[in-house]
């Protein structure tokens, strides 16, 4: 089925639709914070014109809870079969944006940590150990 909207108009519509984060992944991480009594985290804190999912102000640690599909983690072999070029480019741009944000935040003296969705779901031992050290 072809699109009934021009590519320019579709682009305008998509640009106006700003992402609000991966709420389910963030909620899983909050659940881990609570389960392991990890304190001192905040949300919606702006650093270097970016909004990490969580920050630990005293330690200057910014955490991003990244969805494996959207940020191109290699744990998933699932890739869309249709419109593959679009999705490959979309994920590539997401990864480039992630790198840019990381560099900007680190330039402000913060440590940036990206936690993959699959690590949160598995309660990866390294992840739990790391979180307990913050």
- CATH number for the domain that contains residue 71: 3.40.960.10
Q: Work out how many domains the chain is built from and give that number.
A: 1
Assigned domain for 11 exists: no
In a domain, 99, yes or no: yes
Residue 6 located in a structural domain:
no
Residue 3 has pLDDT above 60, yes or no: yes
| 38: in domain | yes
Model confidence at 128: pLDDT above 60:
yes
Say yes or no to pLDDT of 1 above 50. no
The predicted model scores a pTM of 0.77
Quote the domain boundaries for residue 45: 20-133
Return the pLDDT at 13.
67
On the question of pLDDT at 42 being above 90, the answer is yes
Residue 103 covered by a domain:
yes
Q: Exposure pattern of 60-93 as b/e (b: 16+ CB <10 Å)?
A: ebbbbbbbbbbbbbeeeeeeeeeeeeeeeeebee
pLDDT classification of 57: cutoffs 50, 70, 90: very high
**97: in domain:** yes
* Residue 122 belongs to some domain of the structure: yes
């Amino acid at each position: 089925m072809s699109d009934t909207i021009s590519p320019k108009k579709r682009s305008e519509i998509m640009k106006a639709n700003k992402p609000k984060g991966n709420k389910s992944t963030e909620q899983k991480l909050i659940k881990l914070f609570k389960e392991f009594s990890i304190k001192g985290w905040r949300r919606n804190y702006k650093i270097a014109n970016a909004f990490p999912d969580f920050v630990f102000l005293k330690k200057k640690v910014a955490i991003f809870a990244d969805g494996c599909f959207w940020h191109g983690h290699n744990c998933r072999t699932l890739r869309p079969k249709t419109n593959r070029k679009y999705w490959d480019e979309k994920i590539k741009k997401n990864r480039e944006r992630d790198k840019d944000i990381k560099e900007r935040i680190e330039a402000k003296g913060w440590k940036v940590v990206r936690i993959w969705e699959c690590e949160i779901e598995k309660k990866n031992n390294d992840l739990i150990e790391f979180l307990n050290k913050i």
